[in-house]
Amino acid sequence: MITLFDNWVVLVDAYNYTLAKDRGEYTDKDGVVRHKYDPVSYHRNLAGALKALGARLSHEQLQNGSHTLSEAVTIILESDRKTQEMYEELLAEMRLE
């Protein structure tokens, strides 16, 4: 699992990268504390998951309230910039290891 921010995570398995929301902890019937994840979308690679997160964040912001076209473009560009920075940080960390 890759922790992003604001309860956003990317779950990694043998087949894909799942963009998901961490909904917190719960205790299962055997008394084991686990996390509940709500899958949002599935991707072939980490870059795709991060790009989807950027699109999701800008979409959520645009749903709240009324915006001019200029404001909408600014929201989208800022969201894209944020996810691009996250991806570049991940790549830099991978190069250091």
pLDDT tens per residue across span 45-66: 888 898 899 888 888 889 888 9
**Alpha-carbon torsion (84, 90, 92, 94), positive or negative:** negative
Token match 């910039």: residue?
Answer: 81
Interval 80-95 mean pLDDT: 78
Report d(CA 22, CA 10) in Å as an integer: 10
Report d(CA 50, CA 53) in Å as an integer: 5
pLDDT in tens, 7-58: 999 999 999 999 999 998 889 889 999 889 999 999 998 888 988 998 888 8
Report d(CA 58, CA 54) in Å as an integer: 6
